[in-house]
Amino acid sequence: MKRTIFTGAGVAIVTPFDENNKIDFAELGRIIDNQIAEGTDAIIITGTTGESATLDDDEHKAAIKFAVEHTNGRIPVVAGTGSNDTSYAIQLSQYAESVGADGLLLVTPYYNKCTQNGLVAHYTKIADSVNIPMIVYNVPSRTGVNIKPETYAKLAQHKNIVAAKEANGDLSAILRTRRLCGDDLTIYSGNDDQIIPILSVGGRGVISVLSNVAPKDTHLICQLYFEGKVEAAAKLQIDYSDLVDALFCEVNPIPVKAAMKLLGWNVGAVRMPLSEIEPKNLEVVREALANHNLLEAEK
């Protein structure tokens, strides 16, 4: 069995920006410290929720380096280094390894939409270039590319490809992937509304947007399940379904950044071409936070 990078709830952490639209490293440090204090099992930096698409190369590298240094070994740090340019993904991945990242998260190539053979070649080329574990990220709703179970079976043969973040919503495909790959590929849920279903078929946790605003309970959903308290874990998952829905009422990370601002975090604006949350949707987010008593500190 390959080494698992983490078990439980990893936060797909936001990237806070200051009033000049630059990364606010002081606030990022505060958020990381709070996540660790609340029980989060891993920090996933520069992913989709971290607005990696609009970070330039220097910012991307600086965010990874800061997260590794600030976390300082307290929990694993996974760096989002995916690209639709294999050469650039290799450069970013090698940089992340050089500054001490514990693992890599690599989204499927987007826009140019490679074939399944192309996916194998892309990920293999990257995996051959590093010596730390990789999580491949399947999110066809954003990329237009879906990783098939048979492709996962080929990828899992590489020693450095250890896990998948699955956000295709297809539990039947995940079952086939589990059957074909067994313990050679760890599965993490990429959807906060499918944590328990994926744990129930052998998943090891979630890479979570919800963890940004409810880190303790997102961790607890996983912990309760692993402790055999399945009914309690499922109840908590169901209880949070309203907040999960609210955090995706507009494209991620627009709602979660709005939610964090309501909770008092200075995360700043989303970068264009994303736009600020619509007023009616802000009220949806506010109501969901209030339903879970998360706005008490604000009051």
Q: Which residues are catalytic?
A: 137, 165
- CA–CA dist 101, 94 (Å, integer): 10
- CA–CA dist 288, 248 (Å, integer): 12
Which residues lie closer than 8 Å to 156 by C-beta, 6 or more apart?
A: 180, 181, 184, 185
Of 79, 123, 118, 115, nearest to 99 by C-alpha is: 79
- CA–CA dist 9, 141 (Å, integer): 22
Of 173, 13, 153, 28, nearest to 80 by C-alpha is: 13
C-alpha neighbours within 13 Å on the C-beta side of residue 92: 32
Angle of the 86-98 helix axis to the 57-71 helix axis, nearest 10: 30
Paired tokens of 25:
């490293």
Q: Which residues pair with 206 in a beta bridge?
A: 9, 189
Backbone angles phi, psi at 10, to 5 degrees: -100, 135
- CA–CA dist 204, 188 (Å, integer): 6
- H, E, C per residue of 199-217: HHCCCCEEEECHHHCCHHH
What is the largest distance, in Å, between two alpha-carbon atoms of the chain? Answer: 54
